[in-house]
Amino acid sequence: MHEIMKKELDMTTVASRKFRSIPYRDAIHTWAAIVDLLTRSNQSNSKRELEAVAGIAASCIADQAPKDAPIIISCDGPRTRIYCLYDEDAIEGSDAKEEAFGFDPLKGDWRLSLPCGKDDLSWVQSALKKHSSRISARDLAMGITDQAENSTGTKELTINIKEFIG
């Protein structure tokens, strides 16, 4: 039963980071910094998969999509949300939080959802599918919803501990 409670806690725990982007660093370097954080700078299949979509992700970053709607990463541990800072906020950097996590944000069966403007959504989704089944895009107007958090289109199992025990 403790495993069930730990799994539920991991699925509802959210960690977030804010990366300094344009003009502090360009969009491609912002994505590279995000990839390094997510992969802990280790060479792995996950890192290669994330690097394969660098141009596509940089396009979303350049359009400032992750300013208010985060990049969402779900895995077998806590969920991760990554925002980007722009303009004066990026230069000044006092709100930036780019340090490593105390957990592996790509543990197990991970998924990453990029926010994207409605006008670019169809080409971004199509381009991402060519490189990865784990990385998707969503309309940034969606904000943060269960659908955005679970880009596979399936509902996650939710256990009500009070009902389970009682």
Cβ atoms of residues 73 and 80 within 8 Å: yes
Which amino acid, residue 117? G
Q: pTM for this one?
A: 0.80
User: How many of the other CB atoms lie within 10 Å of CB of 59?
Assistant: 21
Give the residues across from 20 on adjacent strands. Answer: 85
Q: Is the pLDDT of residue 131 over 60?
A: yes
Per-residue model confidence (pLDDT) at position 142: 79
- pLDDT greater than 70 at residue 9: no
Q: Which two tokens stand for residue 87?
A: 């303009």
The answer for residues whose C-beta is within 8 angstroms of residue 96's C-beta and 6 or more apart is 18, 19, 20, 85, 90
Over residues 77-119, the pLDDT tens digits come to 899 999 999 999 999 999 999 999 999 999 999 999 999 999 9
Per-residue pLDDT at 89: 98
As a whole number of angstroms, the distance between CA 116 and CA 140 comes to 5
**pLDDT band at residue 145, thresholds of 50, 70 and 90?**
low
Name the phi and psi angles at 138, rounded to 5.
-135, 160
Structure tokens at 41: 């700078």
Average the pLDDT over 3-21 and give the result.
Answer: 68
